[in-house]
Chain A
Amino acid sequence: MTSYIIRRAILTLISIWMVTVLIFLLLHVIGPFFISDRSFDPADWTESISYFLVPEEQLADPEMVRQTLARAGLDQPILQRYLSWSGNLLQGDLGSSVISERPVWDELKWRLPVSVELGLVALVLSAIIAVPLGALTAVKQDTSVDYSVRGYAIALSAFPNFWIATLVVEYASKWWRWAPDIRFEHFWVDPIQHFSVMWLPVVLIALTPGSVFVRYMRATMLEVLRQDYIRTARSKGVVERMVIIRHAMRNAMIPVVTLFGLVVPILIAGNVIFERFFTLPGMGKYIVDAVGDFDIPVIQSMVLVFALIISITNFLVDLSYAWIDPRIRYS
């Protein structure tokens, strides 16, 4: 097990490094190359990037352009930029915004809890509701319960959650003159206000992973229910309810663990969309705003943070799966 953990940890570290290279290439090499294609000399990265960062009226003044770029550390050669960025990262320095000049870390301290709360609560909520529901549809296969729950799950995976959100907000205001509360307060400042803002986005984000869980749990549960040990349990006289809860569900839930890794990118996408929709001060809104401003230091550090979250979850999922199922460790 230890060697598996070490192997997997090294793989994760290398993959995170690869993500830093990739995002750096995208923002510092590919992006500016395309941009410069139109109105600037392709070879001159500095010139093309200043097109984004410097207000138009200052573009004519080379001194202003130079100052803005120097402030962001964007006037150095590319390799040096990468080395200083990754060097700073290793020391825990994520850089500063070019626009507001606030350190990314200062923003993150306040925004990370919001996004993690949204994602985590949505994940737990969807798992608590959807996993038993999925098991239920398998037990009651081809009954009206099965069809209606599956119908909901299929519809929820087909109709985008942001459309459902728009629908909810529109009809709530039309019928009950109710609008979602968007006066955000942190939990430690005003828990009640915090809850009244967060509940709707959490429920909406939970819809998509919920439908994934229902369908997957149903499939694995159907498979488990056909296994020999279930027949053995039944034939030795175990009460049906116990067969389902103790024997079938516990085994059917093992493969569902792998879904957590799959669902994290969905949750991040949900964060990005709904933090903007409900104007919540989380990481999703932060990066969307940063992309709008082409705030390179913020974008590159935030993509890295998201990639870190996904790869750490994948790492933990793999470990727990290998812990549950010893066959994985030795392959």
Chain B
Amino acid sequence: MFHIYCPYCEEHREEEEFHPKGQAHIQRPADPEACSDEAWGDYLFFRDNPRGVHHELWVHAVGCRKFFNITRHTVSYEILETYKMGEAPTVTAKSVSEKDKQAGVQAATGGWQTVGARPESEALNDASNQGARV
């Protein structure tokens, strides 16, 4: 059972209080009518399934009822960061792999998190996650 830091409540709470809502930063096309069937189908149905860093949308369902984002490692289940809606993640697949490269680490193993999001977070530097949901 995860121990999740709610960036609004500013506390760690048990997973039982939260609902996962799928991949984060899926933005609804601004003009759906202008989308091809394929583009609309991609928006509706296609999601990433990475082995490693993944940005997820969660809601503090029986807490503050706020939606927020979790950056989680799908192998170790480590929560690398949680951040509010409208913020960009500071930890991405790219930043983690570069950090690991510098430290000579092959892959993250085991673990858990306690990093809260920095409000002055930088823009996304992971090409696959452009277009943060705001």
User: Do these two chains really belong together in a complex?
Assistant: no
Give chain A's interface residues, CB within 8 Å of chain B: none
